[in-house]
Amino acid sequence: MDRATIQAQIKQLAALKTEGMYLDDFLLTWDRSDDEIAAVFQVAEILMGMRKDNISARAFDSGLAVSLFRDNSTRTRFSYSSASNMLGLSVQDLDEGKSQIAHGETVRETANMVSFMADVIGIRDDMYIGKGNAYMREVAASVSQGYAAGILEQRPTLVNLQCDIDHPTQSMADTLHLIRHFGGLDKLKGKKIAMSWAYSPSYGKPLSVPQGVVGLMTRFGMDVVLAHPEGYEVMPEVEAIASKNAELSGGSFTKTGSMAEAFEGADIVYPKSWAPFNAMEKRTDLYGNGDMEGIKSLEKELLVQNANFKEWECTEELMGLTKDKSALYMHCLPADITGVSCEQGEVAASVFDRYRDPLYFEASYKPYVIAAMIFLAKFGNPSEKLQQLLQRGDKRIF
């Protein structure tokens, strides 16, 4: 990508209304306007172009990016670190087990203590229904109070790195993958995507990936189909958002209990396991009561329940039902691959192997999406700041 192309992209960014993102948090995609969503994609593309042309995007000389992961993570953890580093921020992980949180320190106190010179806080809290997003909002309110009282010299921006409701950095990276695959955001209109449950021999995968996908991709005029066996419903509030988005965009949002029906004529398939909504609610109640034995018992019940639907696997036969038998296969990774990572899982090994490179490209866009979210929150005139970085012309490698 040459500088003329980057200049043109910056000009297009300037035409988008992004004022609402300045000094604000990115917690749910459906909280953001169409222009703001488009701006994340545009800034991500610009940052990719700058890196390819060996132009430094370090908008900060110093600063701290705090990360708090309450669930295991590989891709998102490293994507957040890469994004922060790209912009010139140093990452500090908040390990709750090694902090005073373990001794009963309040959320308000912790949030302020880690934020004295922090520019951004990234949080992943996805395992307990009704808790993750609420926790993020409590942290947001706490740093707002600290800033208003003059304790904090600046209010750090919060980025949702996955919660119980949404996984915005994943769904945005997924969409950027589609944008680049099909040749533009406008090219997604009319494309059919099957967001399908798939069998996994493990328990308790969050609902936020399927919810993030149907909550975002219905905004682009796509025909979004949510498929799952009975008992694996997602949050009704998110389904309502998807329906409303589809109505506004001219697309559609439908549900089916058949994986084959969802795959029929699809341009994109996204087979992914998740836990039943009701079970996740029960798990949250058990956790709140400190009933660890109850959680273990629930896990056993759900593994038995999952085993009733082993036929929900992305096979070559099902891929043959897709449009031109060549739909784009997507997954947030790691996938449960039959005969490779497990005896039987979400996807046949031959399907996964054929799409391995596209899957890795899909994952590679997440650092740029996160960096774009941070950038738009920290600079009131992002196009002007990007222009300054371009004119400065510092080399990333010199």
pLDDT tens-digit series, residues 113-146: 999 999 999 999 998 889 999 999 999 999 999 9
Q: Which of 163, 168, 106, 105 is nearest to 131 (CA)?
A: 163
Report the pLDDT value the prediction gives residue 104, as an integer from 0 to 100.
Answer: 60
pLDDT at residue 97 is higher than 90: no
pLDDT tens-digit series, residues 140-166: 999 999 999 999 999 999 999 999 999
pLDDT band at 338 (very low <50, low <70, confident <90, very high): very high
pLDDT at residue 334 is higher than 90: yes
pLDDT band at 191 (very low <50, low <70, confident <90, very high): very high
Round to whole Å and give the CA distance between 283 and 275: 10
pLDDT tens-digit series, residues 266-310: 999 999 999 988 888 888 888 888 898 998 898 888 889 999 999
Residues above pLDDT 70, as percent of the chain: 98
More confident position, 327 or 287: 327
Query: What CATH code is assigned to 3-166+367-392?
Result: 3.40.50.1370
Report the pLDDT value the prediction gives residue 165, as an integer from 0 to 100.
Answer: 97
Asked if 316 and 348 touch (Cβ cutoff 8 Å), the reply is yes
Residues above pLDDT 90, as percent of the chain: 86
More confident position, 79 or 286: 79
Q: Which of 263, 211, 265 is nearest to 235 (CA)?
A: 211
Round to whole Å and give the CA distance between 169 and 180: 16
Q: What is the mean pLDDT of the chain?
A: 95
Q: pTM here? A: 0.96
Asked if 111 and 55 touch (Cβ cutoff 8 Å), the reply is no
pLDDT at residue 193 is higher than 80: yes
b (16+ CB within 10 A) / e for 134-166: ebbeebbebbeebbeeeebeebbbbbbbbbbbb
Report the pLDDT value the prediction gives residue 95, as an integer from 0 to 100.
Answer: 81
CA torsion 73-355-175-366 (nearest 10°) is 30
pLDDT at residue 111 is higher than 90: yes
Amino acid type, 297: S
DSSP 40-103: HHHHHHHHHHHHHTTB-----SS-EEEEEESS--SHHHHHHHHHHHHHTPEEEE--GGGSGGGG
pLDDT band at 98 (very low <50, low <70, confident <90, very high): low
Report the pLDDT value the prediction gives residue 277, as an integer from 0 to 100.
Answer: 86
Task: Locate 147 and state its tokens.
Answer: 């800033």
Handedness of CA 328, 30, 120, 45 (dihedral sign): positive
Q: Which of 295, 214, 216 is nearest to 255 (CA)?
A: 214
pLDDT band at 378 (very low <50, low <70, confident <90, very high): very high
> What is the third-level CATH fold of 170-363?
Rossmann fold (3.40.50)
pLDDT at residue 353 is higher than 90: yes
* Mean local confidence (pLDDT), 174-200: 98
The residue behind tokens 């396991």 is: 273
pLDDT band at 204 (very low <50, low <70, confident <90, very high): confident
Preceding peptide of 201 cis, ω within 30° = no
pLDDT at residue 397 is higher than 90: yes
CA torsion 156-81-13-38 (nearest 10°) is -90
Report the pLDDT value the prediction gives residue 292, as an integer from 0 to 100.
Answer: 86
Domain with CATH 3.40.50.1370 in the chain: 3-166+367-392, 170-363
The residue behind tokens 């219905």 is: 218
